[in-house]
Structure 1
Amino acid sequence: MSVQAYNDILQNQLSTFISISNQIGGEVAEQAKLVNDAFRAQFNFLNIVNQSSAPSPDQQMQLLKPTSDKIQAIQTLREKNRASVYFNHLSAISESIPALGWVAVSPAPAPYIKEMNDAGQFYTNRVLKEWKEKDKKHVDWVRSWIELLTEMQKFVKQYYTTGLVWSGIKSAVIPPPPSGGMPPPPPPLISDLNDMSIGDSKDDRSALFAEINQGENITRALKKVTPDMQTHKNPNLRPGPAPFKTPATSAINFSYKSAVQKPPVFNRDGKKWIIEHYKDNHGLLVDGTEMNNVVYMFDCTNCTLTVKGKINSIFIDSCRKSSVVFDTVVSSAEFVNCQSVQMQVLGNVPTISIDKTDGCQMYLSDKSLGVEIISSKSSEMNVMVPKGNGDYSEFPIPEQYKTTVSPTGLKTVIVETKG
């Protein structure tokens, strides 16, 4: 039943998503093929689960490898196409595809899929914002992907509420390695019981019952335990601590972000300025810009970026202890997955977006006091408003809310923290 239900998802929601992705084309279609392969690999894995007994952790990792390889390929495709016009599409899938890791989550895997679906929402919202007026296919694309993960969540909640269940009796068959092959299995061991005749089996049972029927006489052969043999009176007889065993993990890590330090990048690709992987550099400068230009700063630590002129937008992604100073932005300044970052606007900025960021200081100018600040899943955000004498007033952005439920709906108010 569960395998058939999963196959229905492949034939319906997944098929719709693949079809729309192919209509968009480019890197979106290329990534969709990998998504299809990942779901098919998980379908094969569930077939094994329903026919086999639980394997060892190492064997399970081998069985999950085809799925995890496809997840890694999806995330790698995104990293290789940061300058793509479809970068938000690629990022939405890359952030949420680890939902297929529910097979290694217990005791409640369904909420994990919801969490991964939410993780990609920031980028799906960007796709909708950018394309809803240009091409309706992209709106349908977002809807099809969300529906696919939503159906996956319902499926897991119905059939695997408390986690993966190995329901078969056969041993799981590990897929063969790509080359070389594995050595043939050793010949099966023949149990001594299989060599016993029926008469021998009856004789053994008769002898066993004769021993049991001795009553109190059965304990005569037992050795008496003297006080010097009792472990509670003789600590030196107690066994040492049990050998250390690696604790079993409830989930397998499906994250494949490389820890290797990459060389810094500073170049212009058409309308996009790309600054990546810089460390301890406070002299980064973008000059000679045009109003349709976009500045993208990624994976920089302890750096300061200065942007001259009027540009379309600034995007700060996965940076730590870094600052950006700019003149005027036509669209928005955005911070995602950052820690301890600062920004200062000298001219105007209509929108500041903050997502999954801890620690963001925003210094405004007189021209930017009408800015809209949109924040989600972030903390320690402060806005510095100029007083007019060269000093600033500091205002924290609320992080805590109280929601009251009533028959008519929900009412949410800000809860101020006083300390």
Structure 2
Amino acid sequence: MDTRVSDEPAAASERVERAWRSILHRSDEVADVISARLLARDIDTYAEMNAHLPDDIRQSCREHIRRGLQVLSGIDSAKASAVELWRETGRRRARQGVPLELVLNAYTMGARVLWEALAEAAGRSGAADVPDTDLLVAARAVWSNLDVQSAVLIEAYHRERDRVHRRDQQRQQTVMDGLADGRGGDPTFAETARAALGLDAHDAVACVVVIADQGDGDPVGRLDDQLQRHGITAHWHVRSGAAYGLLSGRLPDEPGLVRIIEPAGEGRIAVASSNGVHGFGTAFRLAMRSARTVPAGGGVVGVSDRLPEVLLAGDSCVTPLLIVEAFGALLDHPQVDTLLETLRSLLAHDGSPTHAAEELYCHRNTVMYRIKQIERLTGRDLTDPRDKMLLWLALTARS
């Protein structure tokens, strides 16, 4: 290594460029050292993202080092193409899903190895006539170029990542609309949906519908966090004033989902199991109807536990007719609420007046008297299974 003090800046710059040109023929060799170090450190990460990514890394390193050496050697025509190379690398790595930190680490390692190659060349007798002070100039140029490269790459990476995110969001929303409409039964669409949502062919899925009674706030924020904590992924969309999500991952049964959601649920919420993506349309409709049957104030229900309510909610003409036919004159009685509360307790306890009296905090004889009133006013027999079913459905509809 030459310890002479350089004379003029122009002369020093020329010597540095000449030194860089002296290793230009070794660009592929230097690049292969960089890619080998990168892959030795992060090979599993790269391979998991894309099986072909390691080969892309090797090729990209060669192109970057060749262009970089051309720029450092003072070849003016290389500068514009080098900047475009940095931009394209940022865009490509964003599309590939490579974390920005890994990309920037690769650039930093490349700058360091490139500098080491120049220092090694300067240390060989006769290989490059470069004083130590000129090496300092070269070092500043390398790290200054790295700052510019990083800035260009970061901007391109962020722009492309945002574009890809918007595209993926639009694609997922289109898929969610199609699944809610029942298009999951189409094998071609089902395959498209699974690809867009990151699902395998045999992955279990479920549907959750959230109807927010309050207009403000995010009704799914806490819920989404809660699901993630339990290993469940949710893809969300909005329809008819409700948020709905396709759930996948470590899914329990419906009661298990209800238990997971309850601590974080806000609004009226229903969950429905789905027979894969092809059954999601049915699950969505059932969950939507079930959520609408939840009383104001909120709560979480499973569709399987709300089938009577869903059945009644399916036809708005049935409910008023059912109530009138089942209750008859009881609806006009001054004590209608008391009699209906008694009826509800009786049906809940399989017609036992003793258990109903305990729940209602009254005497058994009082319940017996009310039973006679109910049967007289409705014309129904509380020992008849069909009449009991009709009265129970009417109670459900009225609530």
Structure 2-normalised TM-score? 0.29
Structure with the bigger RCO (C-alpha within 8 Å, sep 6+) is 2
Higher strand share: 1
Structure 1-normalised TM-score? 0.28
> Rg larger in 1 or in 2?
2
Higher helix share: 2
